[in-house]
Amino acid sequence: MPKQILFLCTGNYYRSRFAEIVFNALATERGLDWVADSRGLSVGTSLTNVGAISSYALQGLAARRIAPTNHERLPRALQENELQQAQRVIALNRSEHLPMMEKRFPAWASRIEYWHAPDLDKMAAEDALTKIEEEVRALIEKIA
């Protein structure tokens, strides 16, 4: 059974979905026994998240020639048992997601890893996606 990594963002619509799909594509290329999934810490609270996945994520994947696998599934909210099952959990933005973790899953807030890929109100989509891709590639190298 493959090891699991879990990517977290706010709505499980843009950043975490992109990270999940990029990680799975690169892990498959490398033959790694890891699989990524993603969840959101505040799913359904944004009126701008329409559909299953952000058009920014889909455009970013297309630009990188990565097939958008599992892109039809709707965003999913994080459950505590998913934290327990994952070997590694990464939230995509510390300043945004640490307070959410402290509120919803306080026992886990300091046990997960935080990256710095802010949402669209703080960083342009392509810049955030490039940052996420760089972090995913570094992670792949680390676990390979």
Per-residue 3-state assignment (H helix, E strand, C coil) for the chain: CCEEEEEEECCCCCHHHHHHHHHHHHHHHHCCCEEEEEEECCCCCCCCCCCCCCHHHHHHHHHCCCCCCCCCCCCCECCHHHHHHCCEEEECEHHHHHHHHHHHCCCCCCCCEECECCCCCCCCHHHHHHHHHHHHHHHHHHHC
Q: What is the pLDDT of residue 50?
A: 64
Query: How many domains are there within the chain?
Result: 1
Give the CATH number of the domain where residue 7 resides.
3.40.50.2300
Q: How much is the pLDDT for 124?
A: 95
State which residues form the domain around 45.
3-143
pLDDT digits (tens, 9 = 90+) for 37-64: 999 998 865 556 667 899 999 999 999 9
Q: What is the pTM for the complete model shown?
A: 0.94
